[in-house]
Structure 1
Amino acid sequence: MRHAQGPLLSIDVGARESRVESIDAARKAFVGGRGLGTRLAYERIPFDADPFGAENRLVFTAGPLQTATTSFAGRLSCTGLSPLTDGLLSSNAGGFLSDNFVATGYSAVEIAGASDDPLAVHVRDDGVTFESVPELAGEPVSAVSSWVRERHGLDESHVACVGPAGENRVRFAAIMTSDHRAFARGGLGAVLGSKGVKVLTFDGDATPGPDLDAAASEVARAVHRDAAESDHVMKSQGTPSLTAFANEADALPTRYFSEQSFEGADALSGDAVAEKKQGRGTCSRCAFACKLPTADEATGIETEGPEFETLMAFGSNAGVDDLPAVMEANDRCDELGLDTISCGDVVSAYLAAEDAFGDADLVHDLIERIAHREGVGDLLAEGIARCHDDLGVPDWTMKGMEFAAHDGRALAGQALAFATSNRGADHLYGGMYVYEYPLVDREDALPADTLDGKAAALVDSENHNAALDSAIACRFSRGTLTDERLQTLLDASPDELDALGARIVDLERGFNNRRGRDRRDDEALPYGVDGLDAALDAYYERRGWRADGTVSEERCGRLVGG
């Protein structure tokens, strides 16, 4: 299989040291991105590590497609031990950072140790420099980008940083890049903040890996051409085009999950967001350009998005049907460095406790308080799993992670996907909602009201998504970057890609098993689903796991050793 090129750069920010290590076997077996990050993290992070301890590590990884001139590949992955889920977790971000990352010549960059003082770490193709930055303490994301531009002549596409939320170890803090793009889910921004790293920059002129062969080059051109010529609704409305699908299917969480559709959904629709659109945004080299720079003339708010999941979390789930108010919430999260899904759900939990749904001013105030851990924000910064008892509300999380949209009470397969996901209540890990709305061709659709036959379909989907995350390719490439095209780009057979995905899911599960996770965590959905026990049995059998949802240490050892 085609794989990422370059060694590992390991940086100890406490010792202010770095070293280069060969990882040829890991790259060959796990391709890049999420796969490579998982492989390295499994071996290098102690199973009993404290997510906020110096022994935790963050591994940034590129894949083989980040050096190709094609659409949907402008992404970078980050893997570490999550302070939100207490398990191994990977997150990837779009924007333009990936080009500058691969220009350093490394396929992986690892951040280890911890600095006592705020630190900037500059990664170049000719080495690493460390810079003490006390002046950046507490600064928002845009201010960090401005500092890097003025001090080092690099724009925001070279930057990965944390806002105040990461510095204050908010458990769902994000790592931000290009100002509005995020390694969002799972709190990896809090990990970077706990290491005392305020900002990372990447720059260089290293020659990327070997060019694609003739067949892969032709596919790359075809993907790029089709992305440019497509008239897909995502180009005009982005992910907010999903609002109507979810609402009509009773799959749009509303008023802290107490309802499944929202009477104000039209105000949060794709059409409504498109009216605020100011041009088109994109990621590195991508002709699809589905990002939505938006502005509201009346309030003066300018931001990017919000995406559909943000419209759910700060809109329907908070009982807010004011699009500019959701835009402002989105922008504050970007500036402060917060995952909008977890933050919006946590805020909605507080609104439920205070019977204050629809209070947009309170929403905005709570975002600030959470990021700075001020007053009740200190409690909310811990996430719903740790604060729901104090609030007196139900625990709407899986494995500690707040729920995305696509409500499993209406979409049975997505409920199973939330249950089995090693990452927690994340919609992209298994992505069964795609087949249940459906967002695919009718012949590929699945009935939404049953778990019959869903275990096998979910295993296939999880494996496919893990392989895609290792390439790394955007999920919005569906329909353009077909299975056949992905196989050509990665020089892999269908069986090889499926096996790659299975290895990744196995290692994630095995790591989390060593930290005490098992079937009981998969069964802990906050709602009942008919047939869940039987579906879990079928899922574990399909994966070759034990009936208690665990993977043997011996099996994981073989995967790492191989």
Structure 2
Amino acid sequence: MLHAEGPLLTVDVGERTARETTIDELLEATVGGRATATALAHERIPFDADPFGPANRAYVSTGPLQQSTMSFTGRMNMTGLSPLTDGLVSSNAGGYLSRNFVGTGISVLELTGESDDLLAVHVTDDGVTFEAVPELEGATVPETSDYMSEHHDLGPEHCLAIGPAGENLVRFASVMTFDSRAFGRGGLGAVLGSKNVKCVTFAGDADPPVEIPDPPESEIHREAATADDRQRRQGTTGSTEFINDNFALPTRYFREYEFEDVAGIGGNAVEAKKYKKGACSACAYACKLPTRDEESGLETEGPEFETVYAFGSQQGVGDIVDVMQANELCDTLGMDTISAGVTVAAYLASEDEFGNADLAQEVTEQIAYREGIGDRLAEGVARVHDDLGVDDYTVKGMEFAAHDGRVLHGQGLSYAVANRGADHLYASMLSLEYSGDLDPQGTSGKAATLVERENYSAFLDTGIVCVFGSDYVTEDRLETLFDADYDDLLAVGARTVALERHFNNQRGFDRDDDGLPYEIPDLEDSIAEYYAERGWNDDGMVPTEALESPPAPSAD
């Protein structure tokens, strides 16, 4: 099976040491990306670790396809113990970092320890250097990138950086690359903040020996370049009105199911502000959204659909320029737009201030700096909902994505059992229910489909393949690219999901954590069916014999 090449590079930021470990056997079994990082995290992060403590570890990893020039492969994975959910979380981001990461010659970076000084870590094919950067304390993400460009000739395409939110341990702080692309969900930016790591840069000319079959590499690239999809023009916002009119767009902190001002924040409104094409590394699909408001001069990248939901309909805000401003604030300060927007919406609900975009943006900035009410809101909805007097719309502490499980019941089941919490991309059942390939009503009989979708999504995060390339990187092409049967690829995903669940089990997660803050049909029976499909115990625990993946090397 095709897999990533290169050693694990362990960087202890407290001791200022770097050490390489050969992990060829692990890569052969886990391919790369999320699967490799999850196996390492399971073995090397203590089950009782504090997410903000030095024993937590953050993994940045690549898959074999990042060593190609194929469309839909300009992405990276990041894994660690989440300060938002208190379980393992993996997130991935696009942009232009992946090829620079590959150039260092490693397959995985592991960050551990805790620095006394605010630190930049520079990783190259010649080694690792450490730089104290006290002048970057409180710097925004673009300010950090500008510093690295000026002092090291390394632009934002070489950088991972955190903003003030990460430094201030906001539980949903993101790690940013290329200034506007986010390892968003789960608060991994706060993990770097707890380690006092402001920035990590990557540069080098290593050329790992991975051969990508062609075709389909060139075929996929050509089809991506000539596609006439609405998503190429409007990104994920292209479905906003369709979802609002035919399913549900959660509005005013889940009080309503549709938003009367959807036209002001939907795909056409976003496209009207788009002023050039945007892409990720090596991708001809170019579905990103560089947008500009000519009147104010505001420029940002996006907003994508999830941000339109979180800072638009959820807050009762119907002007795309307001949503663009919130999007830019989150990117600049380093926060996940979903969790930030939903948390601010919960605050607006408590104050009866829906539609007050100025207040929403003021509070968003306060969260990043933990000032005023922002200090409480930086903990996320699950930890402050009682104080606010609102319902706890989270699963495992993670705020809900836009796709409403009260209407899309298969997606609701996915939210309930997902190791990551209420994240839409953990299985993407929503795509089957929106398209009509799966009846959105009811959960009975959907467990087997959910298991397959989870396994498939886990493998895409392992390869690594962008989820928006699924119409082009088809099952048969995946088999050719990875020189493996499709079922073997799904098995890699299944082992990854099991390792995540087993790790969380050791931290106290069980069936009581698999649920929803609302009722949908047959949920309890469907959760039991899901466990049975997985071969897990009735209490949601993973038996040891289900952990088929070979062990990762132990930490010293």
Measure the CA separation in 2 of the matches of 1:105 and 1:12: 19
Residue 458 (str. 1) matches residue 443 (str. 2): no
Q: Is contact 2:478-2:486 (8 Å) kept?
A: no
**How far did 1:558 drift?**
6.0
CA gap of 1:37–1:558, structure 2 versus 1, over 3 A, is closer
Structure 1 contact 8–23 (Cα < 8 Å) conserved: yes
Cα distance in 1 between the residues matched to 2:51 and 2:210: 37
The question of 1:286 aligning with 2:283 is answered: yes
- Paired with 2:67 and 2:393, the residues of 1 have a C-alpha distance of 40
The one of 472, 492, 495 aligned to 1:500:
492
Write the mapping of 1:220-231 to structure 2, written as runs, cut at 5 A. Answer: 220-231=217-228
Q: Deviations over 1:451-471 (max 9, x none)?
A: 132111100100011011100
Distance apart, 1:251 and its partner CA: 2.1
Decide which of 286, 306, 309 is 1:309's aligned counterpart. 306
Does 158-167 or 200-209 show the bigger shift? 200-209
- Residue 534 (structure 2) aligned to one of 538, 543, 552: 543
Q: Which residue of 2 aligns with 1:468?
A: 460
2:260 to 235, 259, 263: 263
Contact 1:26–1:40 under 8 Å retained in 2: no
Alpha-carbon displacement from aligned partner over 1:313-362 (angstroms, at most 9, x marks no partner): 00000000011000000000000000000000000000000000000000
Shift of 1:553: 3.5
Where has structure 1 moved over 4 Å in runs of 4 or more? Answer: none
2 CA distance for matches of 1:355 and 1:89?
Answer: 33
With 283-292 and 18-27 compared, the bigger mean Cα shift is at: 18-27
Amino acid in structure 1 at the alignment position of 2:447: A
Q: Which amino acid aligns with 1:229?
A: T
Match of 1:417 in 2: 414
2:423 corresponds in structure 1 to 426
Residue 5 (1) aligns with residue 5 (2): yes
> How many angstroms apart in 2 are the aligned matches of 1:68 and 1:250?
39
Do residues 526 (structure 1) and 517 (structure 2) align? Answer: yes
CA displacement at 1:209 relative to structure 2: 2.4
AA in 2 matched with 1:160: L
Q: For structure 1, list consecutive stretches of 5 or more residues without a partner in the other structure.
A: none
- Identity, in percent, stands at 57
Structure 1 distance, partners of 2:548, 2:287, is 41
The residue aligned with 1:36 is 36
Are the aligned partners of 1:406 and 1:414 in contact in 2 as well (CA < 8 Å)? Answer: yes
Measure, in 1, the Cα distance between the counterparts of 2:433 and 2:242.
10
C-alpha displacement of 1:24: 1.2
- Aligned residue number for residue 77 of structure 1: 77
Kept after mapping to 1: 8 A contact 2:495/2:549: no
Q: Which of 375, 381, 384 is the aligned partner of 1:387?
A: 384
Distance in 2, Cα, partners of 1:311 & 1:349:
16
Q: In the TM superposition, what is the alpha-carbon distance from 1:559 to its structure 2 partner?
A: 4.5
Contact 1:95–1:177 (8 Å) recurs in 2: yes
Q: TM-score, normalised by structure 1?
A: 0.97
In the alignment, structure 1 residue 181 sits paired with structure 2 residue 181: yes
Q: Distance in 1 between matches of 2:337 and 2:477?
A: 33
Q: Distance in 1 between matches of 2:246 and 2:526?
A: 23
Q: Counterpart in 1 of 2:159? A: 159
- 1:552 paired with 2:543, answer yes
Q: What is the CA RMSD across the aligned residues, in angstroms?
A: 1.1
Amino acid at match of 1:378: D
Q: How many equivalent pairs are there?
A: 553
Q: Residue 126 of structure 1 corresponds to which residue in structure 2?
A: 126
Classify 1:557/1:490 alpha carbon distance in 2 versus 1 (closer, same or farther; 3 Å). Answer: closer
Give the whole-Å Cα distance in 2 for the aligned partners of 1:79 and 1:27.
16
Q: Paired residue for 2:441?
A: 449
SS of 2:214's equivalent in the other structure is helix
1:298 Cα deviation (Å)? 1.6
Name the amino acid aligned to 2:276. G
Q: Say which of 511, 515, 533 aligns to 2:507.
A: 515
* 1:244 Cα offset (Å): 1.5
The AA in structure 1 aligned to 2:140 is P
Answer yes or no: is the 8 Å Cα contact 1:219–1:489 preserved in 2: yes
Deviations 1:403-449 (Å, cap 9, x if unpaired)? 001100110100001011100000000100100011xxx6xx10111
Q: Determine if contact 2:499/2:547 at 8 Å carries over to the other structure.
A: yes
Query: Which whole-Å CA distance do the structure 2 matches of 1:431 and 1:549 have between them?
Result: 21
Distance 1:345 1:492, change over 3 A: same
Amino acid at match of 1:546: N
